[in-house]
Amino acid sequence: MEKRIHRYFIFYAAGFIIFTLGTVAAVIYEIFAGISIPFQIVIGICYVLGLIFFIVGRIYDFFKLNQIMKNQDSSKQYIIDKFDERNVSIRTKAKAKVFNLFAFNVFPVLAILMYFMNTLALFFILNTYMAFIFTYYFYLTKFQKQL
């Protein structure tokens, strides 16, 4: 498995950061109701750009995998790398780390926030999904460098 940061990870990170900025701006807007319309436009732009970057990362990942599978030699190498015992243990360790982090730290706080701010619940859920993916790839690259 490659020990470098994949290009689609940059799209994930950019999408997550921009979308999070939009969510923070929306929370500020909810707290200080009555802020001008340009601020609402900025919130919408942050949401749209964040989702676009995140979706572009997923599409790039799909096309890269499709291109690898078309070439017979690279597809064999990809399958060997994908199911190699070391790489499987790295992915499993990264998934377990993300699950523990989110299950015991993030979800209780998220549940409380969604209870008090029901209008922003969808955006918090999308933001949490992006945080899952972002954190998974962070730990994946970290554990790849360690082993």
The pLDDT tens digits of the residues spanning 113-141 come to 766 766 667 677 777 778 888 888 888 88
**Is residue 1, in this structure, part of any structural domain at all?**
no
> In the chain, what are the helix, strand and coil shares in percent, each to the nearest 5?
90, 0, 10
Query: pTM here?
Result: 0.58
Domain annotation covers residue 2: no
Residue 89 resides in a domain: yes
Are 18 and 50 a contacting pair, CB within 8 Å? yes
Q: If we measure between CA atoms, which residue out of 14, 17, 20, 22 comes closest to residue 53?
A: 14
Compute the residue count for the chain: 147
In a domain, 85, yes or no: yes
Query: For residue 27, what are the domain limits?
Result: 7-146
Phi, psi dihedral angles at 50 (to 5 degrees)? -60, -45
Residue 37 has pLDDT above 80, yes or no: no
Instruction: Give 82-94 pLDDT, tens digit per residue.
Output: 788 888 888 888 8
For the chain, what is the domain count? Answer: 1
